[in-house]
Amino acid sequence: MFALLIYTGIRLIPPRPPQLPRPTPVEVEGVVVPLEFSRAGPVELNRATVEELMELPGIGPVLAERIVAFREQHGPFTSVEDLLQVPGIGEATLEALRPLVTVEPP
């Protein structure tokens, strides 16, 4: 027995999701906040540059400069909690940064 196939010329193709542009950093009151953290490992606070610190979520150029300036004025960080002494970093920011930063002995 043979099956007869009839082609009607209609092919249903599911719609593709729209191609959205890659997210870019958001500027909030003059501070650039990255949308995602892209480093493979934690940032070492005593060796990080301003650019490396800016890769952290919630850290823009102003806050990154403050962290580096604080480190230069007061010496190396001894713990991650020392970030609370940097103007502009509070408990919420510290908790967001805690898994992403580290402090190694100098």
Per-residue pLDDT of the chain (106 residues; tens, 9 = 90+): 566 666 666 666 667 766 666 666 555 666 655 555 455 679 999 999 999 999 898 899 999 999 999 999 999 999 999 999 999 999 999 999 999 999 987 6
Query: What CATH number should be reported for the domain holding residue 44?
Result: 1.10.150.320
Residue 83 lies in a domain: yes
- Give which of 74, 52, 79, 73 is closest to 63, Cα–Cα: 52
Q: What is residue 62's predicted lDDT score, i.e. its pLDDT?
A: 94
Q: What is residue 104's predicted lDDT score, i.e. its pLDDT?
A: 87
Residue 35 lies in a domain: yes
- Please state, in angstroms and as integers, the Cα–Cα distance from residue 89 to each residue in 9, 57, 67, 81, 105, following that order: 64, 12, 9, 10, 22
Q: What is residue 15's predicted lDDT score, i.e. its pLDDT?
A: 72
- Which residues constitute the domain of residue 38? 28-101
Residue 15 lies in a domain: no
pTM, two decimal places: 0.62
How far apart CA 45 and CA 37 sit, in angstroms, is 16
